[in-house]
Structure 1
Amino acid sequence: MSEFQNIGLIGRTESSSAVMSLTRLMAFLEKEGYAIVLEEETSTAVRHSARISPRDKLGELCDLVIVVGGDGSLLSAARALAKFSVPLLGINRGRLGFLTDITPDEVEQKVGEVLAGKYMAESRFLLDMSVSRNGSLVANGSALNDVVLHPGEFIRMIEFDLFIDGQFVYTQRSDGLIISTPTGSTAYALSGGGPIMHPKLDAIVLVPLNPHTLSSRPIVVEGSSEFELIIGEQNITKPYVTCDGHDQVITKPGDRIRIHKKPHRLTLIHPLEHNFYGICRSKLGWAGGA
């Protein structure tokens, strides 16, 4: 008997191709005798008689959650479900697919292998973010990829102080800062000139966005580090903070943004042949060897 009996499903409902793959996956799971629990919004896009659950309750009901969509869909599921320690498996119906690595034409084969115990599990950490104003908490969020400070609606240089583990690092004037996990190192941080980090690394990278000095470069620090950004009092604009491109917060001069590793880790499930370097070759256009 499979260790996974109750299977939660989350689909990218605005994508017709994702809905097609979701319907195909449901037919396979029902045929094999698995209990399906559909995420509430996902349930509106398919015909079914399955149990329905709000997203934030799936982790209590399921042994495995399968996400049908792109990396953005999996990031959203990860933020909601990490606290439950329920593993996630991704079927790619997006573009790059660094996290959702099963292709639509191999759904039955690869999902069947995973359910039969033929898979590899990978642990990833997330970041917690909070914004304080005059000593009071005004917003918080979490991210699997990155927390980003940026100018928001207007393209203007912003000024902020950076502290790591209570030690002053620098006052920077730039378009902002990307604080990224290894998972996010192949996303926005890579576009900003940051290094690619292997997912197993316990490290965090800070990537300045267009800094107003040629000497400012990405910094890689240990994963247990705690960060504090203090928004400069002289800023004309009000910088934004986003977590994985969501949970947008508009800051004010003097606000303190604190970021640290989340206590709960995410377990990603991959097919046995999953290979990080192979994915980089495929998704980033690296040259193949013999």
Structure 2
Amino acid sequence: MTGEPVSHSPIKLGILGNLSKPKFKSVLPDVVKQLERHHVDYVLESEAGERIGLASERLLPANEIPNVADLILSFGGDGTLLRTARIIGDRGVPILGVNVGPGLGYLTEMLVSEFSANLERILAGDYEIKERMQLIATRQSHHDGITALNDIIIRPQQVARVHKLEVLIDDAPLTTYHADGMIIATPTGSTAYSLSASGPILEPTLQALILLPICPHTLTMRPLVISNRRSIEILASSESYLIADGEIAAALPENSVVKVERAAFTTKTINLTGRDFYDTLRTKLNWGSARPFSGDNV
């Protein structure tokens, strides 16, 4: 992940959000009014815009917004930001994550209550763009890749069964795991499911991947941190699911081979508050604090 100073104002803003969050639906009309008061050109996801009666020329299907927007505002939480990254894909549009609660919003840049006070800075381009590694998973005999910002997970369809997973690194055999599944995580994803499974936390600038068996059936199978220049091949002996950023992306038949590697493109996120990685660990995860963790500590 790199920091890149920005000095230009975006021409057009895109708005994506999580309509299942009541707070997003309640703040959206005010957000739109603020943009119009500042004479900002913007487009909004069709379903959200229809809810508040916006004119049709302001509305686009979510997948078309990155074609016309210079910056996308993602209103929701981490799940919404991951969805936004998936929609953008390789089109390189930066994301500003705005947490509408009630969840932690670890990846988001600000609370929705802070949006109004920061709008002038957003429009002035007074922020940095940070680039985050993406993963791409390719199935045998499939040409389309499945991408993820946090992690790719292989899990058995029958959860009560032990999963046999043969792993190769750059075509060289590593080992055979007997476990409940496998996580391949980026540095961004190291504070997500991987952390809950006792994986290490990686600084986002590291050019590395985490290979983490889920509940391995032997104590010698510890997580590995490997270079992101490596490719990982996994042969799953039983019927499995390929899960990308928490969403089931594909059902895999027996003896499927999945190749996971760094994608050729990155996800660009906006750093507006100046909070660095270690600030976020302390303030959002209570890292090093004696206080009990709470999702309200944002």
Over aligned residue pairs, what C-alpha RMSD do you find? 1.8
Following superposition, the deviation at residue 248 of structure 1 comes to: 3.0
Q: How does 1:100-249 map to 2 (within 5 A)?
A: 100-132=108-140, 136-137=141-142, 140-232=145-237, 235=238, 238-249=239-250
Which residue type is aligned with residue 113 of structure 1?
R
1:288 Cα deviation after fit = 5.4
On the 8 A contact 2:109/2:273 being kept in 1, the answer is no
Change (3 A) 1:253 1:288: closer
1:64 paired with 2:65, answer no
Structure 1 unaligned runs (5+)?
Answer: none
CA contact (8 A) 1:62 1:86 kept: yes
The list of structure 1 runs, each at least 4 consecutive aligned residues, that deviate by more than 6 angstroms after superposition, is none
Tell me if 1:37 matches 2:38: no
Inter-partner Cα distance in structure 2 for 1:225 and 1:72: 27
> How far is 1:266 from its partner?
1.2
Q: 1:250 to 1:82 in 2, by over 3 A?
A: closer
In 1, Cα distance between equivalents of 2:278 and 2:27: 27
174-183 or 17-26, larger mean C-alpha shift: 17-26
How far 1:199 sits from its partner (Å)? Answer: 1.2
Distance 1:47 1:106 in 2: 25
- Structure 1 counterpart of 2:284: 283
In 2: Cα distance, 1:29 partner to 1:18 partner: 16
Residues 240 and 252 in structure 2, CA contact (< 8 A), matched pair in contact too: yes
Shift of 1:263: 1.1
CA distance in 2 between partners of 1:9 and 1:45 (Å): 14
Tell me, what secondary structure is at the counterpart of 2:212?
Answer: strand
Give the match's secondary structure for 1:13.
coil
CA deviations on 1:60-114 (whole Å, 9 max, x unpaired) are 1011100000110010110110311111101002412121121121111123212
Q: TM-score, normalised by structure 2?
A: 0.89
Partner of 2:27: 21
- Is the 1:180–1:204 contact (alpha carbons within 8 Å) kept by the matching residues of 2? yes
Aligned residues: 282
| Structure 2 alignment gaps of length 5 or more | 1-6, 291-298
TM-score when scaled to structure 1?
0.92
Structure 1 residue 52, shift from structure 2 partner: 1.3
Q: Distance in 1 between matches of 2:123 and 2:13?
A: 10
CA shift for structure 1 position 121: 1.3
CA contact (8 A) 1:139 1:249 kept: no
State the alpha-carbon separation in 2 of the partners of residues 288 and 46 from structure 1: 43
The 8 Å contact of residues 21 and 68 in structure 1, kept in 2 or not, is answered as: no
